[in-house]
């Protein structure tokens, strides 16, 4: 009988956030697939766990993935971890999880902190509908293309970003989206955890002067609905009121058009039709 693949979330800063189930999963598994064994060994040492580790990262994931799945199929259980947070979320793991499903291996969740969800929850930004965009490309052209594709996105957008790229990214966001509300959430669960609620221009200006340090999640407001266009009926109503106040039909149509953005000719036609109807009744 095959073993299981446990997908284990680990702390994103504060080690006290590691769950009992997370620790148990690492203790019980036959081996741990870790993004960086030098990082995970610190977590294991902190909790007094001794376990075989297999490195599983971006550049060895094909060969190591097969090796890991074969071991699981032979009956061993594996706990998958990344350096911090949930594996497979802007971290290695997605392919291994897929391969496990395809091989008929049971995948079990052992959830832990995830920076994007934690940042959104404390940002005070609209959280009803959001999209996660991960890291932007280091390539300037691809980064700008990606942002440009998002300019009409209405949902709150969440990005991960490295501090050294933050000033350039903020400027590109400002160029693509215009000045929007933004929350820059920094150093989650650590001593210097902060939520900087500002605008894209405010953030760009601030980080131009103050070099960013630490880990960041960027939460950017989605595109706001255009102001509702006034209906033709309401515009005609306004024009009729103007006529009752003494304006001529033509100037009432003109004034109502200017005030509402509705075409003057359309308002004019309605006023004319209703005048004709009134004249017939007399």
Contact residues: ligand SAM, CB under 6 A: 12-13, 82, 84-86, 89-91, 114-116, 160-162, 186-190, 215-217
Q: Among candidates 196, 246, 191, 188, which has minimal Cα distance to 220?
A: 196
- Maximum pairwise Cα distance, the chain: 99
Q: How far apart are CA 125 and CA 102, in angstroms?
A: 38
202 dihedral zone (left: phi>0; alpha: psi -120 to 50; beta): alpha
Q: Which is nearer to ligand SAM, 135 or 255 (CB)?
A: 135
Tokens of 152: 């009409």
CB 267 within 8 A of CB 257: yes
- Considering the complex, what minimum distance in angstroms separates the CB of residue 93 from ligand SAM? 8
- Considering the complex, what minimum distance in angstroms separates the CB of residue 115 from ligand SAM? 3
- Considering the complex, what minimum distance in angstroms separates the CB of residue 225 from ligand SAM? 29
For the CA atoms of 29, 31, 35, 37, the dihedral, rounded to the nearest 10 degrees, stands at 120
- Considering the complex, what minimum distance in angstroms separates the CB of residue 140 from ligand SAM? 19
Residue 77 has a CB neighbour count (10 Å cut-off) of 19
Q: Which helix (H) or strand (E) holds 262?
A: none
Place of tokens 């999880």: 97
Residue 164 has a CB neighbour count (10 Å cut-off) of 10
- Considering the complex, what minimum distance in angstroms separates the CB of residue 256 from ligand SAM? 51
CB 177 within 8 A of CB 220: yes
Q: Which is nearer to ligand SAM, 150 or 236 (CB)?
A: 150
Q: Which is nearer to ligand SAM, 13 or 222 (CB)?
A: 13
Q: Which is nearer to ligand SAM, 218 or 239 (CB)?
A: 218
Residue nearest to ligand SAM (CB): 85
- Considering the complex, what minimum distance in angstroms separates the CB of residue 47 from ligand SAM? 19
Q: Which is nearer to ligand SAM, 56 or 268 (CB)?
A: 56
- Considering the complex, what minimum distance in angstroms separates the CB of residue 208 from ligand SAM? 20
Q: Which is nearer to ligand SAM, 94 or 273 (CB)?
A: 94
Q: Which is nearer to ligand SAM, 139 or 251 (CB)?
A: 139
202 exposure class (CB count in 10 Å sphere: 0-12, 13-18, 19+): middle
């Amino acid at each position: 009988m095959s073993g299981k693949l446990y997908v284990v979330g680990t702390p994103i800063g504060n080690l006290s956030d590691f769950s009992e189930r997370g620790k148990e999963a690492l203790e019980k598994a036959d081996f741990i697939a870790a993004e960086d064994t030098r990082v995970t060994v610190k977590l294991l040492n902190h909790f007094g766990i001794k376990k075989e580790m297999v490195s599983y990262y971006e550049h060895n994931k094909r060969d190591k993935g097969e090796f890991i799945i074969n071991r699981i199929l032979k009956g061993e259980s594996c706990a998958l971890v990344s350096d911090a947070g949930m594996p497979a979320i802007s971290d290695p793991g997605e392919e291994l999880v897929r391969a496990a499903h395809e091989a008929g291996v049971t995948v079990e969740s052992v959830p832990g902190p995830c920076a994007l969800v934690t940042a959104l929850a404390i940002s005070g930004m609209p959280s009803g509908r959001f999209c996660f965009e991960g890291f932007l490309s280091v390539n300037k052209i691809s980064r700008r293309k990606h942002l440009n594709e998002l300019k009409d996105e209405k949902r709150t957008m969440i990005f991960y970003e490295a501090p050294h790229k933050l000033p350039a990214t903020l400027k590109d966001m400002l160029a693509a989206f215009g000045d929007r509300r933004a929350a820059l959430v920094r150093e989650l669960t650590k001593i210097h955890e902060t939520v900087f609620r500002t605008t894209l221009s405010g953030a760009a200006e601030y980080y131009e002067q103050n070099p960013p340090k630490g880990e960041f999640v960027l939460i950017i407001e989605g595109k706001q609905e255009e102001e509702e266009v006034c209906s033709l009926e309401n515009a005609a109503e306004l024009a009729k009121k103007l006529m009752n106040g003494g304006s001529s039909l033509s100037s009432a149509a003109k004034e109502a058009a200017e005030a509402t953005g509705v075409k003057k000719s359309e308002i004019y036609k309605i006023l004319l039709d209703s005048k004709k109807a009134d004249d017939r009744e007399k």
